Amino acid sequence: MAKMGLSVRDDPKRVVNPELRQWGQTVDGFALSVESVLLREDRGVMSNLSVVLRNVGDETKSLTVPGWLFFFHVDLTGPDGQPVSMSPFGSELLKPSRKTERIAATLPPGGLTETQIPLGSIFGMRAPGDYRASAWCELPGGSILRSNSISITV
């Protein structure tokens, strides 16, 4: 690519510091955290949701999940306190027929994995005000793991 006069600039790898995050209840040796993060495209907009799954146990844990966007579920309420519906894009993106990917993840003790969910694209966040967001997932044994809850102002 350099011979073509093109260069590629990767964004710096985002470092997640687990000590600076709030976490939901620990279940089966895992904890889940959400926090609002800036969009890469528009550094003034906080509508991406950083979802971090952490192994808080003493042993390495392995998971096979149906793609992170299908593994994590987001509960989002609007300024009126009602659940926010998906946008047309979100409905298309999360159609059950698209649930074909399988991801294997191995997390050592203290290890974590982050997924960023584009809330502003997946949900109809048109009304100005404060939104409440949290995430949850079903662990391989059937237990439900819930994150902390955060407020996002639009």
> Tens place of pLDDT for every residue, the chain, 154 residues?
444 444 444 455 667 888 999 999 999 999 999 999 875 555 445 578 999 999 999 999 999 998 888 999 999 999 999 999 999 999 998 998 888 889 999 999 999 999 999 898 899 988 999 999 999 999 988 999 999 999 998 8
CATH number at residue 64: 2.60.40.2360
User: Has residue 9 been placed in a domain?
Assistant: no
Q: Give the domain range for residue 41.
A: 20-153
Q: Which two tokens stand for residue 27?
A: 């279940």
Please tell me the total count of domains within the chain.
1
Per-residue confidence (pLDDT) for residue 98, from 0 to 100: 85
Query: How far apart (Å, rounded) are the C-alpha atoms in residues 76 and 147?
Result: 13
User: Has residue 5 been placed in a domain?
Assistant: no
User: Has residue 145 been placed in a domain?
Assistant: yes
Per-residue confidence (pLDDT) for residue 15, from 0 to 100: 78
Q: Which pTM does this prediction carry? A: 0.85
Q: Which residues pair with 63 in a beta bridge?
A: 105
Which residues fall within 8 angstroms of residue 82, CB to CB, at 6 or more apart?
none
User: Has residue 83 been placed in a domain?
Assistant: yes
